[in-house]
Structures are given as C-alpha cells and as structure tokens.
Amino acid sequence: MGEAVIFLGPPGAGKGTQASRLAVELGFKKLSTGDILRDHVARGTPLGQQVKPIMDRGDLVPDELILALIREELAERVIFDGFPRTLAQAEALDQLLGETGTRLLGVVLVEVPEEELIARMLKRAELEGRSDDNEETIRHRLRVYREKTEPLVQYYEKTGALRRVDGLGTPDEVYARIRASLGI
C-alpha cells in the first residue's frame, strides 16, 4: 500500500526545502509541480511554452494540465509539494489516492506571516532570479493563494489530515516540527 504526504502553504513558506529533506530522509519521491513546470519552461517543450506566460503572471496553470503531470509522475511513496492548489485538484487527488490504494499520512500546512513571505521571496529573487519573484507578481501569487488554495485548509481540516506547523525559525527547527506533527 502506497503512502503520501502533502505540503500546503503560501508561496515563500519554505515548503520546497522542507519537502526535499523529508523526501530524502524517508525515501519518498518529491513531486513538485512548480519544479516540473519550470523544467518544461527551461527545456522549451510545448507544455513549457504554454505555461510560461501563466507562471510569469503568477496565475495558476489549468487543473487538467497539472493532473496529467501528476498521473505521469505518481509513485508508491510520494511527497506532494505545491499540489493540490485548488479544490478541483484536491478532489481529483482524493480519487487518485483511493484508486491506487495510497494512504495520506498527513497534510502539512507551513504557516508564515505575509510580511515575512514577501521578504523571503524578494531575497530569493536576488539570489535565484526566478522570473515570477518580483514584487508585483509576488503580491499576485499571494492573492491567488488566499483565493484558490487557502480553502484547502478547511477541506483537510474536516478530514482530520491537516497538521499546522509554524514556519518561522531555522530550517532545522521547522523540519523537526514537521516530523513531530506527522509522527514519523
């Protein structure tokens, strides 16, 4: 029987860093839709060409495209980073986990105040030069998060899967909280 963990939280919360470490230490595959899409953009694939303008604006890529990627990349033990991001994606994932007999170990919500998120992303913009890390796009991505993704907090609270984790502190501190919250 498969196992899955979901990382939920606003852009800049540090989900990617934490998800990578957890994946390595537990021997899970990390499935980051943002990374997969950026890779398509970098290679100039047809999908990459289609999604680049959407990502540069800070909008969400259509659910069907995301779900096709997820079906392709699904593994027996998987950590989702940046997915699901809409209620439709969450419902589709529930179905997929059911079909494949995969148990959801928990949904980790990494919580960080908005001013700190903006500061972190502006810093990342300087260091990495991600084309969607400028102030206007950052504010738009935060709005999109509040509107489209935040409803998933309630969704997973209802099923009892939600684990709230304080995302402030050193990466090691946050990581320890995540492991404790999942009991793994």
Q: How far apart are CA 92 and CA 36, in angstroms?
A: 19
Q: How far is the CB of 24 from ligand ADP (least distance, A)?
A: 19
Q: How far apart are CA 117 and CA 12, in angstroms?
A: 5
Site string for ligand ADP, 92-131 (x = CB under 6 A): ----------------------------------------
Q: How far apart are CA 136 and CA 58, in angstroms?
A: 9
* Catalytic (active site) residue 124: yes
To 5 degrees, how large is the angle CA 15–CA 17–CA 21? Answer: 115
Structural contact between residues 158 and 50, judged by C-beta atoms closer than 8 angstroms: no
Give the active site residue among 57, 77, 130, 148: 130
* Catalytic (active site) residue 57: no
Q: How far is the CB of 25 from ligand ADP (least distance, A)?
A: 21
Q: Which of 14, 33, 74, 117 binds ligand ADP (CB under 6 A)?
A: 33
Q: How far is the CB of 73 from ligand ADP (least distance, A)?
A: 12
Give the active site residue among 21, 38, 52, 85: 85
Fill in the amino acid letter for 44.
Answer: G
